[in-house]
Structure 1
Amino acid sequence: MTSLVDVFVTAARQAGATADDADLTAAGEYLLSRWSEPQRHYHTVAHLSAVLDVIDRHAGLAAHAERVRLAAWMHDAVYDPRALGDANERDSAEFAAGLLTTLGVPEAGAAEVARLVGLTAGHATGADDPDGELLCDADLAILASDEDKYAEYTAAIRREYAHVPEDAFRDGRSQVLKALLELPSIYRLEQLRTRWEEKARANLRRELDEVLGAA
């Protein structure tokens, strides 16, 4: 069975990495160590695997699937629940560009992966950006899960923000939920929007009602 590290090595090679296999393997293992940090409860290896699974199933919709896979690996490489605004995404994008360049990925490819990582801050993509659309849709796939899995997701998010008082957490979470519901479409790729949009909006509305009801 292909390991996650093998998936990273393959994607890096396809993106033009010139580092030897030992260095690529070490980089993949280092990334997995980041995804396994103790402050993470949702943004874990399980989330990474889920995002990669969506990308694999819909790779044909991407222009450069290997870059989307690398962006999945990098999009939460830096994750501090105490960070403000989109600092985690900015830092992850910078980290991605630096690491991939060190591994010999051409500068243009590394910069494109960093750009994709940055999109996950607001999950907003421009026109004609199938790679960005696939990454963002894969990152938000959890929103369209069944009620039990969605409840596990929200509980894990709350554990990541255990340092935030309940009132402040409800205020912040309600803003996130409203912003998602105000999007013209949560999912950008038609195949995924058709399957997931209605369920995701139902989950978000239910959670928002619960958050506001607890206030």
Structure 2
Amino acid sequence: MNEIELENRLKSLETVQYAIWFHDIIYNPKSHDNEELSLEEFKKFQLESQSVQLNQISDDIQLMIISTKNHIKTSHDISMDLNYFLDMDLSILGTSTEQYQTYSESIRKEYIHIDIDKYRQGRSSILKGFIQHGINGLYRTPEFRDTYGQKSLENLQSEINKLTT
């Protein structure tokens, strides 16, 4: 899915674009408050911009940014724009085997400071959590479930197998 394909489905393309730009603006694999720090960066930007239009969509942007912390636990009923945004954020899980492998390897590099056995245990636990929720738990919209759902489950299971053997 790309922006052009989603443009007509989104209530506010601008809101989603801001959320995309800011949701990982602060990212430190050793930190547990990246989303909160990213949210603070957005708030600084908002304050500095003094944009009336940005102020009108700020609450939605902030919700999107903070919702990336707990994708699966966030209510599906908040807004379709939030659902599409969170689906876009997880779409990497349903890419080709090669793309997913590259992604998986980059995650390990980000967490190289973690002992390999602890990494394998922690990462496989996270991935199993995704699988337990199934396609409907991973992706909130039919478009993303249909496009990425099955391949996501295959990629996740493949990585779990590698981590646990």
Fold match (TM-score > 0.5): yes
| Aligned with residue 122 of structure 1, among 70, 89, 92 | 70
Displacement of 1:128 in angstroms is 4.5
Work out whether residues 62 and 130 of structure 1, in 8 Å CA contact, stay in contact via their aligned partners in 2: yes
Provide the rounded CA distance (Å) in 2 between the counterparts of 1:56 and 1:207. Answer: 31
Report whether the alignment pairs 1:171 with 2:121. yes
- 1:104 and 2:104 equivalent? no
Letter in 1 for 2:142: E
Instruction: Choose which of 2, 18, 22 in structure 2 pairs with 1:74.
Output: 22
Q: Does 1:136 align with 2:82?
A: no
CA distance in 2 between counterparts of 1:178 and 1:167 reads 16
Aligned partners of 1:89 and 1:118 also within 8 Å: yes
More moved, 90-99 vs 69-78: 90-99
For 2:2, the equivalent position in structure 1 comes to 54
- 1:75: Cα distance to partner? 0.6
CA contact (8 A) 1:55 1:68 kept: no
Q: CA deviation at 1:187?
A: 1.1
State the Cα distance separating 1:111 from its structure 2 match.
2.6
Deviation of the 1:172 alpha carbon: 1.4
Number of matched pairs? 159
Farther off after superposition, 59-68 or 123-132 = 123-132
Between the aligned partners of 2:38 and 2:75, the Cα distance in structure 1 is: 18
Please say if residues 174 and 212 of structure 1, whose CA atoms lie closer than 8 Å, have aligned partners that are also in contact. Answer: yes
Distance in 1, matches of 2:20 and 2:9, equals 15
Change (3 A) 1:97 1:110: farther
Distance change (3 Å), C-alpha of 1:179 and 1:108: farther
SS in 2 for 1:62: coil
Distance (whole Å) between structure 2 residues aligned to residue 126 and residue 137 of structure 1:
11
2:125 paired with 1:155: no
**One-letter code of the match for 2:3?**
I
Q: Which structure is higher in RCO with an 8 Å CA cutoff and minimum separation 6?
A: 2
- Output the amino acid matched with 2:155: N
What's the CA shift for 1:125? 3.6
- Of the candidates 22, 32, 37, which is equivalent to residue 91 of structure 1? 37
- Alpha-carbon shift at residue 89 of structure 1 (Å): 1.0
How does the TM-score come out when normalised to structure 2?
0.89
* Bigger mean CA offset, 193-202 vs 89-98: 89-98
Which aligned segments of 4 or more residues in structure 1 are displaced greater than 4 angstroms?
Answer: none
User: Where do 5+ consecutive residues of structure 2 fail to align?
Assistant: none
Gaps of 5+ in 1: 1-52
State the distance in 2 between where 1:111 and 1:105 align: 14
Partner amino acid, structure 1, of 2:143: Q
**Cα distance in 1 for residues equivalent to 2:131 and 2:13:** 28
Q: What is the TM-score normalised by the length of structure 1?
A: 0.69
